[in-house]
Structure 1
């Protein structure tokens, strides 16, 4: 019974030393990916970059102990960071202590919701949300994420919180303000990331780009010419932080916490199941909800930001030879050592490079192929994709997701009703013929 609650009690005593090489290698490679990604996704959520590293320590260890996937790489992800951004910026000014305390409360609430859904065994029900809704939502959210990074990529102060159309209307009139050096750094970083990914896929492209940009900035002191850099990152492990429990804030954050809980779990379970099928073992959805929920609950007390399973890092973790959750624990240890001893290395890291990492990472989430296939094979689901996409892009991520789910339910109800009507007509016709 206890092993079902804490799966680590099963694999730790029976650990096969033959797996150690693969786990060590995978843990190191994922950590190398996670350092720049963690900082980038914290920046996407309008948090200090170090919070992305904090979220890559305690939550990873908790998931390794309670999760049923052997290769899922948990940590900050783009989609969840966007949900944090859209949900909390309406309540507090980014960068303030109030904003950070609300993010910690959001992490705690989403974790509690995930934990409760797992305990109540409703994890399998989430799979009834149609793929058309998920694809339309993620495609629109990816565009919103890209738009949110234009400030850092162009070196200008666009008000990206006012919505898609405001940004698109404002941008042409502000192009004369673009900081050309910043733009050049961002574009070069994007091109290099894409080139390295296609030509040398096993090379940690993000770390290569980070190292090159830090060397160039340090050598030419480009920050003195207006290039924004990360600057000083606090050294040391995250300290204990108690989320402020305020009923008004809890009420205001509830819907976004529910969206974080659902999207974070769906992104996690999708990748976990794909890898588990390849490796020949089973995933328990409800236990995964509990594990990710506990990761978020634990992270909320150590200055983190909401976490989920990463598609890209999980794939790399699997390909690099991870056989057990020890690989995830090794990743957390390496991130912790970076916080203790190596944060100074990222002082000259440009914001434009972190923006480039985000934009390249989320570009694959824009899934127009699914929309085309749906319109060819199942037109009602195609319109569900369009409705979810447009609603998310124009009304925001929480509202877009809700509208997509409601529209999908309406379509399903309408189709069932039509099917029953046709069945009754056929039955009536057959009955008449028999008479």
Structure 2
């Protein structure tokens, strides 16, 4: 009975991580979480407003997306430091997805964004329940880096129209720049002054405010809190200036009325047509958001020797997005900068996120009337400063030096994203990554190996001074054998045997082979038959247990013209007597 109860408790903790960390919650933990929540709340208020406008949504939807989703993640998430909420890339993807369906500023536009959050949440939940987190592995890190770099540029350029106070349109980078240039004569100088000053101030705050405050005698923790409040200061000052000097009357775009109160209860659209239009975008947002979230969660967890459960993270993020859809929000995920701030501020548990939600709720209740005169240029500056830190062109140099294939994936992702938009860019990056993987594994590295003198080790004859037997061909296969490379390996071996050398035995070293699929097995059977017709035996060595288990379920081993050897050295002793070994002297590569 006691064992059953323990199992039930363990199962509940697995699906509700809050039960695990709340059992150890202490007063000092509460203090740490509250301090972190204060800092993140200060940072999140202007960010939430700005990212909602980036998504083409009313500013209050950014606040709504920063309340219940944080509570949901605190219940279901496994990261102690991840801060969930609106992020720049997902906001841009939301704008791209919803913008194709409805006119910005309409009720249908907001409903589509809510539905997108709901769909994304469902997809993440299904992936978590069925343990499909591995699907995110189809997005390689170079592709993600290229996509985020291109997205950062798109986001920054999309905000230039707010900084200049001019109309502009276009989804691609060059279209936006041309549109801006065509309207440059209409620039509102006051808007430009507010935007440029805000950008300069926020960049200075990031690098220079904290050292300045410490030099003035403030403690590092207090200086850090004040530095994080830089965007709030920009919002407060420009709002006061806008009110005092009637910026709106001088053509400066302001936020306007932001509804006061807690998030409303909302429902997504259940129209099959709407779901069909949004599903592809929701899938991309889910995977991109999960990859970004799990990357920062695992990085921060490793610093404290904590553990992240990826499949449960899918559940946590799924619950967060469904909570966003039910409370007037739009798709959310774990933000990199926000999570790092949460971590550095001392957050001990996900409760810090719940306390942050309380802070955002109070802001929605009490502070929204104060945002009426806030210039949109200030929010645009907040976005620009935040996303430019994501731009990393150094990835092009690193991938060019290390792998031309990875460079091609990065470059293609960046160019396609900038030219055709985020969805096509990331989709092309995924497809290109898979194609490059299939290409590389379809032409695996095959090394002809020989015995290192005085040892039982075998190495590549093109890289080392080794001994070989003239009648024995030893090949090491450095890849799993599957449908894409089966024919290549067969042709390689037959071409090698076509050289002038009296080979009687072929040994395939399978130390690096973890899988032999049915296509590869049929290819091996054909190779065995053809070698038999040539009077040459086919042998295997160092076959791994799971691979051997599957081979034993077939007739291949019974029909094999040679043997299966435990070691490559054993194969050489049996097939190529030591007194027949000859040195191979080739220039090392």
Fold shared, TM-score > 0.5 on shorter chain? yes
SS of 1:389's equivalent in the other structure is helix
Partner of 1:22: 32
Residue 365 in structure 1 maps to residue 390 in structure 2: yes
Structure-to-structure mapping, 1:130-145, within 5 angstroms: 130-145=140-155
Q: Deviations over 1:207-249 (max 9, x none)?
A: 1211111122222222211111112211110111111211011
Q: Which residue of 2 aligns with 1:395?
A: 420
**Deviation of 1:392 (Å):** 1.1
Secondary structure of the structure 2 residue equivalent to 1:419: coil
Residue 14 of structure 2 is matched in structure 1 by: 4
Kept in 1, the 8 Å contact 2:298–2:308? The answer is: yes
Q: Distance in 2 between matches of 1:183 and 1:352?
A: 8
Equivalent residue number for residue 350 of structure 1? 375
CA distance in 2: counterparts of 1:143 and 1:270, whole angstroms: 22
1:306 and 2:331 matched:
yes
**1:174 is matched with which residue?**
183
Q: Distance in 1 between matches of 2:15 and 2:425?
A: 35
Aligned length: 434
The equivalent residue for 2:259 is 234
Matched, 1:191 2:200: yes
Structure 1 residue aligned with 2:93: 83
1:314 to partner: Cα distance:
0.4
Distance 1:418 1:406 in 2: 19
Greater helix fraction, Structure 1 or Structure 2 = 1
Distance 2:140 2:74 in 1: 29
CA drift at 1:254: 0.8
Shift of 1:320: 0.6
Deviations 1:233-268 (A, max 9, x none): 111101111112110110011111111101111111
1:72 aligns to what SS in structure 2?
coil
> Once the 2 structures are TM-superposed, how far is the Cα of residue 428 of structure 1 from its aligned partner?
6.1
Match of 2:4 in 1: none
Q: How far did 1:38 drift?
A: 0.2
Structure 1 residue 51 and structure 2 residue 76: aligned?
no
- Higher RCO structure (Cα 8 Å, ≥6 apart): 1
8 Å contact 1:147–1:160 — kept in the other structure?
no
Q: Which moved more, 1:333-342 or 1:78-87?
A: 333-342
What's the CA shift string for 1:28-65, capped at 9, x where partnerless?
Answer: 11001100000000000111100000011100000011
Q: Please report how far the alpha carbon of residue 421 of structure 1 lies from its aligned counterpart in structure 2 after TM superposition.
A: 6.9
> 1:258 aligns to what?
283
Instruction: Please list, as runs of the form range in 1=range in 2, the aligned pairs for 1:67-216 lying within 5 A after superposition.
Output: 67-161=77-171, 163-201=172-210, 202=224, 203-204=227-228, 205-216=230-241
Unmatched 5+ stretches in structure 1 = none
Larger displacement relative to structure 2 (59-68 or 227-236): 227-236
For structure 1, which segment, 271-280 or 396-405, has the greater mean C-alpha deviation from structure 2 after superposition?
396-405
What does residue 283 of structure 1 align with? 308
Aligned counterpart, 2:43: 33
Give 1:431 shift.
9.5
Runs of 4+ in 1 over 3 A off after TM superposition: 420-434
Q: How far apart in 2 are the matches of 1:200 and 1:25?
A: 20
Could you tell me how far 1:351 is from its partner in structure 2?
0.2
Q: Encode CA deviations 1:68-100: one digit per residue, 9 max, x unaligned.
A: 001100000000000010011111001100111
Q: Could you tell me which of 412, 437, 440 is aligned with 1:412?
A: 437
Q: CA deviation at 1:147?
A: 2.0
Partner secondary structure for residue 265 of structure 2: coil
| Higher mean C-alpha deviation, range 334-343 or range 272-281 | 334-343
Larger Rg: 2
* Residues in 2 aligned to 1:256 and 1:375: alpha-carbon distance in whole angstroms: 30
> Is the partner of 1:240 in helix, strand or coil?
coil
Among 406, 412, 416, the alignment partner of 1:381 is 406
Whole-Å separation in 2 of the counterparts to 1:416 and 1:218: 63
**Distance (Å, rounded) in 2 between the aligned partners of 1:239 and 1:286:** 30
Alignment CA distance shift 1:254-1:128 (3 Å): closer
Task: After superposition, give the CA deviation of every residue in 1:340-366 in whole Å (9 maximum; x if it has no partner).
Answer: 112122222110000000011000111
* Higher normalized strand content (fraction of residues): 2
SS state at 1:293 partner? helix
CA distance, structure 1, for counterparts of residue 259 and residue 180 of structure 2: 34
Give the TM-score of the pair, scaled to structure 1: 0.96
Match of 1:365, SS state, is coil
Q: Name the CA shift for 1:342/1:170 in 2 (closer, same or farther; >3 Å).
A: closer
User: Is the contact between residue 123 and residue 286 of structure 2 (CA under 8 Å) also seen in structure 1?
Assistant: yes
Give the TM-score of the pair, scaled to structure 2. Answer: 0.72
Tell me, in whole angstroms, the C-alpha distance in 1 between the residues paired with 2:30 and 2:270: 42
Give the secondary structure class of the aligned counterpart of 1:349. Answer: coil
SS of aligned partner of 2:277: helix
Within 2, Cα distance between the matches of 1:90 and 1:129? 25
Task: Give 1:420 deviation, angstroms.
Answer: 5.2
SS at match of 1:235: coil
**What SS is found at the alignment partner of 1:103?**
helix
